[in-house]
């Protein structure tokens, strides 16, 4: 099958390459030509403009966007001018689900099918496959299914429901991921600081827990790999960014009055990781000092 891929960042490039390796014809467009040329050397078809990408694809065309949130709507507007009735456009980036509804409505005016896709798998997706959550019309899903089967591992893709449901599912997925990461972080810190911290092999323990334990997971496999590379994680700084989807998950919890204390606290801890010697900490130190404690004064 043919597909156009717009955006060759790490995720988009690996998705395109996996499909090429599975025998599909991928026409690729990227703002910088270096990635286009790199994929072309691996079997992709280069497109230096959106008009060229459209011309190289046979109808009904399938075009997949993997771009940062800030430039998605510009490209959708341009593609609306180029694509034809029956073509399907997939937005696979980290868009907010509420943005999908107006996009789908606008494209439907020209008979273009719009699908939103939550994509999980990161840099390991090329080898292991990508977990795919699709929202949008059944017709669009069926048209894409031959591609989805080869992009995902066995059982690794799902038509979640109507427009927006794919991105909504991925949003909640990322919120859960935050909570799981925070639980591992706190647990392993207790192991390291506890009475047996000097004796425990944390890498070996992470490996052990992935053998039949109820806390086994791919995240734990990644932690085991990190501990193998750097047992004390001294090469890393404890500074953790967030993609935005964790924030949207917490906002959704507030909006729907759904208790989500673990997911919310995990997000707050990411914010905390980026701060050092905050005013709030100095207020606590000042108050403790006034009560006869021992605040540490700055030199």
Phi (first) and psi of residue 114, to 5 degrees: -115, 130
Active site (catalytic) residues: 170, 177
> What is the layout of strands, in order, in the sheet containing 2-6?
45-46, 25-29, 2-6, 62-65, 88-91, 113-120, 131-135, 157-161
CA pair distance 107, 115, nearest whole angstrom: 11
In the structure encoding, which two tokens stand for residue 175, read together?
Answer: 């919120």
108 CA to centre of own chain: 27
Phi (first) and psi of residue 94, to 5 degrees: -90, 60
Give the list of residues 6+ apart from residue 78 with CB closer than 8 angstroms, or none: 50
Q: Nearest-CA neighbor of 278 among 292, 264, 298, 299?
A: 298
Angle at 174 between CA 80 and CA 117, to 5 degrees: 25
Give the list of residues 6+ apart from residue 112 with CB closer than 8 angstroms, or none: 79, 80, 83, 84, 85, 86, 87, 88, 89
């Amino acid at each position: 099958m043919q597909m156009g891929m717009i955006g060759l960042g790490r995720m988009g490039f690996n998705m395109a390459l996996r499909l090429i390796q599975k025998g599909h014809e991928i026409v690729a467009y990227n703002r910088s030509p270096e990635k286009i040329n790199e994929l072309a050397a691996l079997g992709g078809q280069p497109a230096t403009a959106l008009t060229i990408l459209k011309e190289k694809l046979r109808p009904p065309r399938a075009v997949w966007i993997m771009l940062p949130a800030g430039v998605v709507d510009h490209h959708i507007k341009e593609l609306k001018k180029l694509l034809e009735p029956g073509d399907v456009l997939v937005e696979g980036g980290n868009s907010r689900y509420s943005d999908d509804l107006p996009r789908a409505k606008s494209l439907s005016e020209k008979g273009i099918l719009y699908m939103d896709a939550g994509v999980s798998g990161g840099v390991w997706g090329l080898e292991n496959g990508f977990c795919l959550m699709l929202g949008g019309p059944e017709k669009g899903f069926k048209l894409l299914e031959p591609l989805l089967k080869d992009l995902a591992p066995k059982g690794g893709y799902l038509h979640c429901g109507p427009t927006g449901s794919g991105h909504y599912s991925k949003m909640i997925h990322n919120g859960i991921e935050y909570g799981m990461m925070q639980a591992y972080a706190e647990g392993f810190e207790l192991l390291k600081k506890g009475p047996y911290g000097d004796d425990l092999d944390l890498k070996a323990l992470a490996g052990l827990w992935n053998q039949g334990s109820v806390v086994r997971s791919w995240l734990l496999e990644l932690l085991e790999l990190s501990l193998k590379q750097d047992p004390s994680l001294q090469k890393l700084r404890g500074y953790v960014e967030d993609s935005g989807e964790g924030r949207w998950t917490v906002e959704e919890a507030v909006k729907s009055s759904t208790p989500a204390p673990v997911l919310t606290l995990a997000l707050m801890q990411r914010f905390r990781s980026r701060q050092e010697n905050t005013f709030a900490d100095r207020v606590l130190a000042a108050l403790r000092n006034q009560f006869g404690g021992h605040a540490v004064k700055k030199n």
